[in-house]
Each structure stands twice: as structure tokens, then as C-alpha cells.
């Protein structure tokens, strides 16, 4: 009887670091987890394991998704030094993870600082990385530098727009390894059942009316010559002006300066308990449900640019954090000054702009990304090359 050697499935590891990125990755994780073509490994790290950020690993576990490992790498504090140390700890910790797990491909997304250490470890160990969201620009924060560095450390690139694809190629990545697949988070539009307003209210322990704003404000080290706390005071003053609306707030991320924002948010909630609710994390299903039911998205989160157009929601984008990102007609930009924010909110709430937002298209794709990604992964010939060549533009 002839012996037939059974070929092992390629090991595909996906690393998730934060609540926002997990929500974007959710349907891809589900597809990979159920795939017969790969051996899937889900590794949870970063802010997911930080209690002050809502300990969002619990949400992943509640979804019944098998977690291969939980790796705690976040150094306490929101200083630049703490971020650098977290990235360094990520490099050390994931060197061990990669040695144990021997993945054939590591999938990551975005521009979180801790990814710099994780992906550097993979690159130095000749483990190919597939990076999502390359070629985008957020000129207002250090994330921009991190994202482009991750692009150069990665082998495969899944981007959200043709403009982003061209930027990745401009960075010297071969066109045959750069795929415009759209934004994976938009898959929720077709697949994720959302909560009605009553169910959402019950889940957060706060009764939401038809008129509420969804608010997230992440720290930016300096904007309009204001530090993060000064910026937030301007924003909260504007929110106080529009006191006929409820405000559902989520915590800022752990970027430099976040420590000084939380006391301001908690104080604002306590002084406006009749109309303000602050939660550490909504999770992707509750967040998207809030997005569907709110009247306005306000703050400086990318969700106002990426997900909000799917639900026809007006967005007031405050400050420079999202400078350089594509935006749809739903977005009104303003600086971090009280008067500008008040005026921008007033304009966003007019029937005219609400109609514009409802009828606008989304520049980040059609919400049918996951199938494209799975098809590309299934066509890969493992093991992938350990070395990639630099791609010169033809006019050099």
C-alpha cells in the first residue's frame, strides 16, 4: 500500500490589539476560523488586556472565538516612553510566540504603536506579514509614521482604496503583492445583527432617546497649540452648548495624553448625568448599533469617516488627528476651538446636511471585502518567499 504524505495546512496567525480593530477584523476572523484551507491562530494582545480600556478580550471570548494565546505587553501610562517600552515588550514577547507557533503568515491591521515591535520580530524571523490599511494618511499623529514603517516590514498588503494602493507601491512594494479590497469592517453592514435602541439602552444601563450624539475623542499631543486636556475642554464646552442632545461617550485610547482626558470626561458625565453616559468600551456590535441610532458622530475617531457613511450619519471631525484620510460628504471638519465646534455641530444637525449624509457614498468600499481576502490567501503558495525585492517606479 502506497504511503501518502499528508501536507500540513499553512499556519495563519491573526494578531488583534484593540477593540476598534477587532471589530473591523471580526468577519475575517470568523471566516479564517472556519476555513478548511488554513490552520488558524488568533492571538490577543495590547489594549484588549487592559482593565482601564474595558478588558475587551472578554468580548472576544463571549463570541466563542478560540484564542490561541493572550499576550500582555502594555506598560502602564500614556507617555511616549510607555508606548516605546510597550512596543519593545511586544517585540520580545512575540519573538517567543513566533518561535512556539511557527506561523507561515501573520495578519495585522493599522497603525497601533505596539504593532511596530510585533511586526519587527516577524520580519527579523523571516515570517511574512500581511498588513491591512497601508497607504492611508493620518498626518496629525505619530501613527502615520508607524503605519508606513509597518508597510515596509510587511510582505502582503490589503488596502482600502486605489489611492492607498498607489502609495504602498510608491513605498517600493511590488504591485503584485498589493490588493485593493476595501475596508473589512464594512462587512458588518450585511452580516451583523444590530440592537434596537431599547436593547442598546438596556445593555449600557442608560435610556437613550432619539436625539443623541456618539462621541469619542482620542488624545493628540498638540493641536492648534493646545495640549490634549485643553483640546478636550474646548470640545466639552461645545457639547455643553448643545444641551438638548444626549451624549454617549466611549473612552479614549491609550495614546500619549489619555490619562489627563479621563478625569475630564468623568467630571463632565457627573455634572450632566441626565444626558451624558460614559462607557469604557461599547464593543463592535453595540458601537455599530449606537452608530445606527444616533443623530451625529462627533470627535476625532476614524469611525466617523469609515463606518458612519454606511449608516448615513453626519460626522463632525474635530482637529488634525484624521488629516489626510479620505472622507465622504457626511463629514464636516473643524478645529479644536469651542466656537468652531458649536457651528460645525449646528450645521451637521440641519435637515440639509442630514439629507446629504443619508444619501452619500462610502469611499472605503462596498462592504464585500472578506471574500476577496480569503480568495487571495487561498491562492498563496506556502511557504512564501522570505525575501522581497524593492519595486522601483518606472520613471526613476
Q: Are residues 282 and 173 in the same domain?
A: no
Tens of pLDDT, residue by residue over 199-212, are: 999 999 999 998 99
Q: Are residues 239 and 343 in the same domain?
A: yes
In a domain, 351, yes or no: yes
Phi, psi for 40 (deg, rounded to 5) = -95, 140
Domain count, the chain: 2
Confidence of residue 4 (pLDDT cuts 50, 70, 90): low
Tens of pLDDT, residue by residue over 254-288, are: 777 788 999 999 999 999 999 999 999 998 899 99
Q: Are residues 162 and 213 in the same domain?
A: no
Tens of pLDDT, residue by residue over 330-339, are: 999 999 999 9
Q: Are residues 44 and 162 in the same domain?
A: yes
Q: Are residues 226 and 323 in the same domain?
A: yes
Q: Are residues 174 and 213 in the same domain?
A: no
pLDDT of residue 5: 56
Tens of pLDDT, residue by residue over 288-303, are: 999 999 999 999 999 9
In a domain, 20, yes or no: yes
**What pTM value is reported for the model?**
0.84
The answer to whether the bond into 383 is cis (omega within 30° of 0) is yes
The HSE-up count of residue 310 (CA atoms within 13 Å, CB side) is 23
In a domain, 187, yes or no: no
Tens of pLDDT, residue by residue over 95-139, are: 999 999 999 999 999 999 999 999 999 999 999 999 999 999 887
Q: Are residues 171 and 242 in the same domain?
A: no
Q: First and final CA of the chain: distance in angstroms?
A: 59
Q: Are residues 242 and 348 in the same domain?
A: yes
> Hey, what long-range contacts does 168-175 have (CB within 8 A, 24 or more apart)?
168/134, 168/135, 169/391, 169/393, 170/393, 171/135, 172/390, 172/391, 172/392, 173/388, 173/391, 174/388, 174/389, 174/391, 175/391
CB 122 within 8 A of CB 129: yes
* Residues of the domain holding 91: 11-182+369-379
User: Residue 74's domain is classified under what CATH number?
Assistant: 3.40.50.2000
CA–CA gap between residue 387 and residue 377 (Å, rounded): 18
Q: Are residues 75 and 132 in the same domain?
A: yes
Q: Are residues 373 and 345 in the same domain?
A: no
In a domain, 208, yes or no: yes
Q: Are residues 309 and 374 in the same domain?
A: no
Task: Provide CB contacts within 8 A for 227, sequence distance 6+.
Answer: 221, 257
In a domain, 391, yes or no: no
Bin 283: left if φ > 0, else alpha if -120 < ψ < 50, else beta.
left
Share the mean pLDDT of the chain.
93
Amino acid at each position: 500500500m502506497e504511503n501518502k504524505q499528508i501536507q500540513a495546512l499553512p499556519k495563519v496567525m491573526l494578531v488583534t490589539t484593540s477593540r476598534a480593530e477587532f471589530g473591523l477584523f471580526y468577519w475575517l476572523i470568523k471566516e479564517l476560523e472556519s476555513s478548511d484551507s488554513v490552520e488558524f491562530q488568533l492571538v490577543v494582545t495590547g489594549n484588549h488586556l487592559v482593565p482601564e480600556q474595558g478588558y475587551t478580550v472578554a468580548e472576544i471570548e463571549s463570541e466563542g472565538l478560540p484564542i490561541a494565546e493572550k499576550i500582555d505587553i502594555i506598560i502602564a501610562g500614556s507617555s511616549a516612553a510607555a508606548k516605546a517600552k510597550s512596543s519593545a515588550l511586544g517585540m520580545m514577547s512575540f519573538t517567543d510566540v513566533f518561535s512556539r507557533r511557527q506561523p507561515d503568515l501573520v495578519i495585522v491591521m493599522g497603525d497601533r504603536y505596539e504593532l511596530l515591535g510585533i511586526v519587527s520580530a516577524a520580519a527579523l524571523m523571516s515570517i511574512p506579514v500581511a498588513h491591512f490599511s497601508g497607504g492611508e494618511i493620518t498626518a496629525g499623529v505619530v501613527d502615520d509614521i508607524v503605519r508606513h514603517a509597518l508597510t515596509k516590514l510587511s510582505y502582503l498588503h490589503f488596502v482600502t482604496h486605489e489611492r492607498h494602493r498607489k502609495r504602498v507601491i510608491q513605498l517600493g512594494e511590488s504591485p503584485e503583492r498589493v490588493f485593493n479590497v476595501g475596508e473589512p469592517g464594512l462587512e458588518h453592514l450585511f452580516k451583523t445583527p444590530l440592537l434596537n435602541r431599547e436593547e442598546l439602552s438596556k445593555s449600557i444601563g442608560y435610556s437613550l432617546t432619539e436625539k443623541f450624539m456618539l462621541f469619542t475623542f482620542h488624545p493628540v499631543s498638540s493641536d492648534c497649540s493646545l495640549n490634549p486636556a485643553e483640546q478636550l475642554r474646548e470640545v466639552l464646552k461645545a457639547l455643553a452648548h448643545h444641551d438638548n442632545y444626549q451624549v454617549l461617550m466611549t473612552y479614549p485610547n491609550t495614546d500619549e495624553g489619555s490619562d489627563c482626558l479621563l478625569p475630564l470626561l468623568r467630571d463632565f458625565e457627573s455634572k450632566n448625568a441626565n444626558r451624558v453616559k460614559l462607557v469604557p468600551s461599547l464593543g463592535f456590535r453595540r458601537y455599530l448599533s449606537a452608530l445606527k441610532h444616533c443623530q451625529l458622530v462627533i470627535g476625532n475617531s476614524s469611525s466617523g469617516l469609515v463606518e458612519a457613511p454606511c449608516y448615513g450619519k453626519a460626522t463632525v471631525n474635530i482637529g488634525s488627528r484624521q488629516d489626510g484620510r479620505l472622507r465622504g460628504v457626511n463629514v464636516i471638519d473643524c478645529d479644536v476651538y469651542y466656537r468652531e465646534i458649536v457651528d460645525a455641530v449646528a450645521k451637521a444637525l440641519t435637515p440639509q446636511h442630514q439629507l446629504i449624509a443619508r444619501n452619500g457614498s462610502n469611499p472605503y468600499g462596498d462592504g464585500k471585502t472578506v471574500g476577496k481576502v480569503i480568495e487571495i490567501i487561498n491562492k498563496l503558495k506556502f511557504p512564501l518567499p522570505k525575501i522581497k525585492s524593492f519595486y522601483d517606479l518606472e520613471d526613476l
